[in-house]
């Protein structure tokens, strides 16, 4: 059966509400497997999210006063991975997909391919680093990936740095990685594309990787 894809743009959203909404959508898709796959775009107010990896909490560096002064919330979450930052200037992407292959590693590889192709379309040469998650430009991380699966339906997803306040990453050891830094599209190219164009390119590459090539 050919699966359709529905694009949803939540605009700005609170992180905790976004997680609750995703779980509702996963449960609805489980109840109706013929419903479309979903690709959700959003942007969160400043928040550090702590994944399920052992020791992730120790990678939060700022104390409660500093967090309050900077207006950054902290939330534990049920995705995989370590600690990361979300905030204005990031493009957050949550795919709600049925994994027919039941292969999480394959799903993660496809997400990586999509982001690499999107960045290539804006003349950015990016790739993966052995043993590390996300998408990198040499030793600079530009996109974080952290996913979860329930009944082989995906949620959580990706955070692509377009023009966020990168100083906020100083409050954590991002993803627990000490031998790299964080970057953004704004830091890597002379002319920043409109977010609308980035979203459109992501949809094109996502459909190509997940539907045209792999089904």
Report the sign of the C-alpha dihedral through residues 142, 90, 75, 68, in that order: positive
Q: In terms of DSSP H, where are the helices of 6-162?
A: 15-31, 64-70, 104-121
- Where is 157: in which H helix or E strand? strand 153-161
| Residue 175 annotated to the active site | yes
Catalytic residue among 25, 135, 175, 185: 175
Label residues 159-185 b or e (16+ Cβ within 10 Å = b): bbbbebebebbebbbbbbbeebebbbb
Cβ-contact 76, 16 below 8 angstroms: no
Answer whether 44's CB lies under 8 Å from 15's CB: yes
Alpha helices in the chain (DSSP H): 15-31, 64-70, 104-121, 185-188, 195-207
What does the alpha-carbon distance between residue 174 and residue 41 come to, in Å, rounded to a whole number? Answer: 22
Q: Give the Cα separation of 167 and 172 in Å (integer).
A: 10
- Catalytic positions, please? 175
């Amino acid at each position: 059966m050919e699966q359709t894809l529905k694009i949803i743009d939540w605009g700005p959203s609170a992180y905790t509400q976004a997680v609750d909404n995703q779980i509702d959508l996963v449960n609805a898709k489980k109840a109706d497997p013929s419903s479309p796959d979903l690709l959700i775009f959003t942007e969160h107010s400043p928040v550090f999210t702590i994944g399920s990896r052992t020791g992730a909490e120790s990678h939060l560096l700022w104390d409660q006063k500093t967090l309050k002064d900077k207006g950054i919330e902290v939330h534990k979450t049920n995705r995989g991975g370590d600690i990361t930052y979300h905030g204005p200037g990031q493009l957050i992407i949550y795919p709600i997909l049925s994994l027919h292959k039941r292969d999480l590693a394959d799903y993660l590889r496809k997400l990586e391919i999509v982001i690499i192709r999107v960045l290539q379309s804006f003349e950015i040469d990016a790739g993966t680093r052995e043993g590390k998650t996300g998408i990198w430009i040499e030793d600079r991380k530009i996109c974080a990936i952290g996913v979860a699966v329930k009944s082989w339906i995906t949620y959580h997803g990706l955070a692509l740095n377009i023009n966020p306040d990168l100083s906020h990453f100083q409050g954590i050891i991002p993803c627990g990685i000490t031998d790299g830094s964080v970057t953004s599209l704004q830091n890597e190219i002379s002319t920043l594309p409109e977010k609308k164009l980035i979203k459109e390119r992501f949809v094109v590459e996502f459909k190509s990787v997940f539907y045209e090539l792999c089904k």
